[in-house]
Structure 1
Amino acid sequence: MKHSLTFLVLSCIALMASAENVTTPESVISKTSETLNNLKSISYSSYREINNFKDNYFAKNSGSSYFEYDATIDGKVARFQLQNEKSLQVYNGTEYFLLDDADKTVELEKRTAKQMGSISLLYNSVTTLRIVLPLLLKDQNIPKSLKDTVIEGKSYDLVQFALNKKSMEFPSGFTNFDSEVIKYYKLIIDKETALPYMVFDGNSILKDQYYTKTIFTNINVNPKSPAEDSWYSSSYKGYEQKKEGIQNPMIKVGSILQNWSLPKYDPKKSDLLKSSDLNGKIVLMEFWIKNCGYCMLAFPEIKELEEKYGKKIEIVSVNAYDKKSEIDFFYNREKPKYQMLYNGEKFANSLGIYAYPASIILDKSGKVIYTSRGFDKEGVEKFLKGIL
């Protein structure tokens, strides 16, 4: 009886120990978070690619990163150096500067951590994960899962999580969306070092039509600090201060457009649309480029406006600078009943349009009666109902 009781006790202890050692998404995230947040500095190489099959877009970039951390300051980054084949970006704790090797110019400005979220090499970076992972652990409402994956014969932990109406961002951790979208993440972690190896992200709108992939290699958790003079723009000779281009203000309501003409997109023939061809018509002009998420969202909205108002107004889509072969993809996908023009950058700039999408409405005399930075379908439709 004593032997049976002893065996039962030992079995219970073994089961309890086994339960404590069960690997969970939280335990893997916690270990990686602890590893990253205990670092004083790190260096690594990264490769990222963006695949957007729906909108015929692919891009890739790579570079090397060096970070020094300080948990007491905003963003927890004391300073960094980011290098790719075209430029060097340096933040020394006070100033940020970018050295452009192509045109030998330097951009120098004071920035805070909050103003650096748009830097490409910070997107889904190790440093961003360092901030995000503790937030993932705190929020039990974020669904998480764990499984093994094998890459080139090596086993890794694969943590998956989903963010509702938000995504990872430096330095706040998350940025929120107004639209109903779920961001799906896959974080592949080295089991031996607890360091991230790869980050995938996609979303519930484009699903398998879109994803990004970032791979980290050559990770050094005790790197040698770059030379002290490399942290100051004055140390780099042969670079001139970049001159800010002069931009026209956006054309004002009440202005009259000067005569213009642009090539029509037509796979069968070449032809021009002239401003005189639109005399006596109310015209909605929408300006767009290929690599622009909001421009892509505007396509179905313009199609809806065409179906509702196409007999009362003329809709003209103006691509700024994409190649004709690239516009071909969108023409074949959208099959627009409205006219699609291209080579419109100079024309757009003359109207004070440098960011896309943008839209203007002309009355029958060619006078500007509506302008919008971005494309606001509700605003456009409300305006059209008021004048038709």
Structure 2
Amino acid sequence: MFWENPELDEVDTFSLEILLRKNPETELGFDYLGKREGSGYNFIEGVLFSISHKDSIVTYYPEKNISRMNQSSMYLTNSPIRLLKNGPWNYLGDTAIDGKTYSEFLWIEMDTTIMEKKVLLKNHLFINPSNELADFYSRRLYHDGKKNQFIDVYYSSYEFDELGEELVYEIPQGYVSKVWGQKDPEAAQVLSKGDLAHDFQLADENGGLVRLSDFRGKKVLLDFSMINCGWCKIALEQFNKPDYQFAENIVPLYVNPVDSKEKMDKYRSKVAIPFPVLINAEEIGKAYGVSGYPTFFLIDENGKVEDVVVGFIDEEILKWKKGVV
């Protein structure tokens, strides 16, 4: 998988392996073992769990979250077995890539306008007509008619066997098991309205220190974002518009728990962030229970969480403007 990061002019490369076995007793109709360097993601007999070999941790997901987690799993969303069930796919004709002939299919997943930006998301699937297997998949995102991000996936090493024994995963010795969302220092739940916001001291982009408690008496908007997040960038575009000014009693802060200072410096040279950027915030992200981006926390004058918004929602973004709050 080649995952473009257009803001940095970089491409991340992932190599994934997935083993599937039919199981009509589960909602997916199959069990699977997903593996990549340093981690794994498995769904066996209705139980979903991930493995971090770096931390020696096995994380189990509550039953109520399994369907959503499977829907967003990188192992499934880009796998032929899931793609072939998406659609509708339309046959475009035969095409040649690197001297090989393929049957090309198109599925337009999104064609809409979001905050005055035209968003077009096209999926191209290339089937090898000699064996009817997917060889190549391309997910192509355009903003206002211009290329934004392409994700290209190449498939290889197909193997098909008669239904064998049930899938089993042996947890390595010494690994610790945890429940996803369990409220502890390592896996906190997302802070809720009324919770006391965790104080922190983080370095900004210029090396200065910013402490949350220094803003007592004002509201603070924490924008938890990361570089490789399209909705995070769209939110920044709204904040950068000439007619967008935050309410006078709101202090906005950009908090990045994921990316290094070096990457953020490169990102900021291309993308304007109109308020202080706080880096090396991995522990703060955990403390606030952030697992998706962007996530916004509005902290009131007394240091308590006044509002929480997970994901980009234009109506929520607008309510922090001057003259609205």
> Residue 270 of structure 2 aligns to a residue in which SS?
helix
Given the alignment, which residue of 99, 109, 131 partners 1:193?
131
Q: Which residue of 1 aligns with 2:208?
A: 271
Q: Which moved more, 1:324-333 or 1:122-131?
A: 122-131
Partner of 1:210: 149
Aligned pair partner of 2:79 in 125, 132, 137: 125
Residue 12 of structure 2 aligns with an amino acid whose one-letter code is: A
In 2: Cα distance, 1:322 partner to 1:194 partner: 40
Alpha-carbon deviation of 1:165?
2.4
Determine whether 1:50 maps to 2:6: no
Find out whether 1:284 has 2:221 as its counterpart: yes
- Tell whether 2:177 aligns with 1:242: yes
Q: Does structure 1 conserve the Cα–Cα contact (< 8 Å) formed by 2:203 and 2:210?
A: yes
CA distance in 1, matches of 2:221, 2:68: 37
Structure 1 residue 359 corresponds to structure 2 residue 296: yes
| 2:2/2:151 contact within 8 Å kept | yes
Write out per-residue CA displacement over residues 149-206 of structure 1, whole angstroms, 9 at most, x where no aligned residue: 132xx4212414141428xxxxxxxxxx995643222222223222221111112328
Match of 1:150 in 2: 97
1:81 matched residue in structure 2: 33
Show the counterpart of 1:261: 201
Instruction: Give, as a single letter, the amino acid of the residue that structure 2 aligns with 1:159.
Output: E
Note if 1:67 corresponds to 2:20.
yes
User: Residue 187 of structure 1: SS of its match in structure 2?
Assistant: strand
CA separation of 1:72 and 1:182: change in aligned 2, threshold 3 A: farther
Distance 1:65 1:387 in 2: 49
Q: 2:56 touches 2:175 (CA, 8 Å); kept in 1?
A: yes
Letter in 1 for 2:13: K
Shift of 1:325: 0.9
* 1:382–1:87 distance in 2 versus 1, CA, 3 Å: closer
Structure 2: which 5+ runs fail to align?
Answer: none
Shift of 1:264: 1.7
Separation of aligned partners in 1, 2:235 and 2:141: 18
1:82 to partner: Cα distance: 3.1
State the alpha-carbon separation in 1 of the partners of residues 224 and 138 from structure 2. 31
After TM superposition, the structure 1 stretch with the greater mean CA deviation from structure 2, 211-220 or 115-124, is: 115-124
Task: Tell me the matched-pair count.
Answer: 313
Q: Whole-Å Cα distance in 2 between the matches of residues 254 and 115 of structure 1?
A: 26
CA distance in 1 between counterparts of 2:208 and 2:240 reads 23
1:325 aligns with 2:277: no
5+ residue gaps, structure 1, are 1-47, 137-141, 167-176
1:341, 1:188 → 2: CA distance?
43
Q: Is the 8 A contact 1:94 1:110 kept in 2?
A: no
| 2:110 is the alignment partner of 1:165 | yes
Worse overlay, 63-72 or 120-129: 63-72
Work out the percentage of aligned pairs sharing the same amino acid: 18
Amino acid at match of 2:271: E
Taking the aligned partners of 1:113 and 1:275, their CA distance within structure 2 comes to 36
After superposition, the Cα gap between the structure-2 partners of 1:162 and 1:378, relative to the gap in structure 1 and judged at 3 Å, is same
Tell me whether 63-72 or 328-337 shows the greater mean CA deviation.
63-72
Q: In structure 2, what is the Cα distance between the partners aligned to 1:104 and 1:363?
A: 38
* TM-score, length of structure 2 as denominator length: 0.76
Counterpart residue number, 1:252 = 193
The structure that has the greater radius of gyration is: 1
Higher helix share: 1
- How many Å apart are 1:265 and its aligned residue? 0.7
Change (3 A) 1:324 1:126: same
SS class of match (2:173): coil
Secondary structure of the corresponding residue to residue 322 of structure 1: coil
Q: Which amino acid aligns with 1:145?
A: L
Change in CA separation of 1:208 and 1:277 when aligned onto 2, cut-off 3 Å: same
Q: CA-atom RMSD, angstroms?
A: 3.8
Instruction: Note closer, same or farther for the CA distance 1:95–1:347 as it changes in structure 2 (3 Å cut).
Output: closer
More divergent stretch after superposition (320-329 vs 369-378): 369-378
- For the residue of structure 2 that corresponds to 1:148, the secondary structure is strand
2:202 counterpart SS class: strand
Q: Secondary structure at the match of 1:315?
A: strand
1:209 counterpart letter in structure 2: N
